[in-house]
Amino acid sequence: MQVTITINGSAETHEVEPRLLLVHFIREQAGLRGTHWGCDTSNCGTCVVWLDGKPVKSCTVFAAMADGHEVRTVEGLEQGGQLDPVQQGFMECHGLQCGFCTPGMLMTARALLDDNPDPTETEIRVAISGQLCRCTGYENIVRSVRWAAEKEASEEVTA
């Protein structure tokens, strides 16, 4: 079957098997390898992307279900050569080590801040609790998200 999915603003039209997972469509058909696959059981969350503005685990969505919809991936965070504040926060606060969970964490973090610009530590922990990181013990991921929240708040004041 033919599906068309708009990924980071570009339409991707491909002939696919109905069983093709969205994560594989993104990686293989669209060639965007920033989104990772990690577990098959919706536990690890390294495959998190946005589907119509909401984070989803793309290993649990068929590409066919995303036909005609909008997807945003980690490659779509940087705008006009400027890193998103969550990307900056992860760099500033050492929110990543091996980097494998990072794309999913970044997409969840961006969605959280859009929804709640000033989250508490607990709110951040709840937001990322459907995702696994094996390197950071989560501490610096929490700090990274707070860093991004504070940066955005300070930019809003200056704007």
Partner 1 sequence: MTTVEERPHTGFGRTLRKEDVRLVRGKGNYVDDVRLPGMLHGALLRSPHAHAKILSIDTSAAEAMPKVLAVITGETLKGLGLAWMPTLSYDVQAVLATDKVRFQGQEVAFVIAEDHYAARDAVEMIEVDYEPLPAVVDAKKALDPDAPVIRDDKENQANNHIFDWESGDQAKTDEVFANAEVVVAQDILYPRVHPAPLETCGSVADMDPVTGKLTLYTTSQAPHAHRTVYALVAGLPEHKIRVIAPDIGGGFGNKVGIYPGYVMSIVGSIVTGRPVKWVEDRAEHLMSTSFARDYHMRGEIAATKDGKILGLRVNVIADHGAFNATAQPTKFPAGFFHVFTGSYDLQAAHCKVTGVYTNKAPGGVAYACSFRITEAVYLVERMVDVLAYELKADPAELRMKNLLQPEQFPYTTQTGWEYDSGDYPKALKLAMDMAGYDALRREQAEKRERGELMGIGVAFFTEAVGAGPRKHMDILGLGMADGAELRIHPTGKAVLRISVKTQGQGHETTFAQIVGNELGLPTADIEVVHGDTDQTPFGLGTYGSRSTPVSGAATALVARKIRDKARIVAAAMLEVSPDDLEWAGDRFHVKGDPEQAKTIQEIAMAAHSSLELPEGVEGHLDATTVYNPPNLTYPFGAYICVVDVDPGTGGVKVRRFIAVDDCGVRINPMIVEGQVHGGLADGVGMALMQVIAFDEEGNHLGASFMDYLLPTALECPSWELGETVTPSPHHPIGAKGVGESATVGSPCAVVNAVLDAIKPYGVRHADMPLTPAAVWEAMQGRPIRTDLAIP
Task: Sketch the per residue contact string, 74 through 113, with partner 1: x for CB under 8 A, - otherwise.
Answer: xx-xx----x---xx-xxx-x-xxxxxxxx--x-------
State the maximum Cα–Cα separation within the chain, in Å, rounded to a whole number: 50
Asked if 79 and 55 count as a contact pair (C-beta separation under 8 A), the reply is no
Asked if 11 interacts with partner 1 (CB under 8 A), we say no
Handedness of CA 58, 61, 67, 70 (dihedral sign): negative
Pick the closer one to partner 1 by CB: 19 or 54: 19
Tokens of 119: 């989250």
Helix (H) / strand (E) element for 110: namely helix 102-115
Q: What does the alpha-carbon distance between residue 43 and residue 61 come to, in Å, rounded to a whole number? A: 14
> Considering beta carbons, is residue 78 or 118 the nearer one to partner 1?
78
Q: Pick the closer one to partner 1 by CB: 66 or 146.
A: 146
Of 33 and 68, CB closest to partner 1: 33
* CA distances (Å), origin 107, targets 3, 37, 76, 103: 23, 14, 10, 6
- Print the binding letters for residues 35-74 with partner 1: x by CB under 8 A, - otherwise: xxxxxxx-xx-x--------------------------xx
**Using CB under 8 A as the criterion, which residues of the chain lie in contact with partner 1 when the complex forms?**
17, 19-20, 24, 27, 32-41, 43-44, 46, 73-75, 77-78, 83, 87-88, 90-92, 94, 96-103, 106, 121, 124-126, 128-142, 150-151, 154
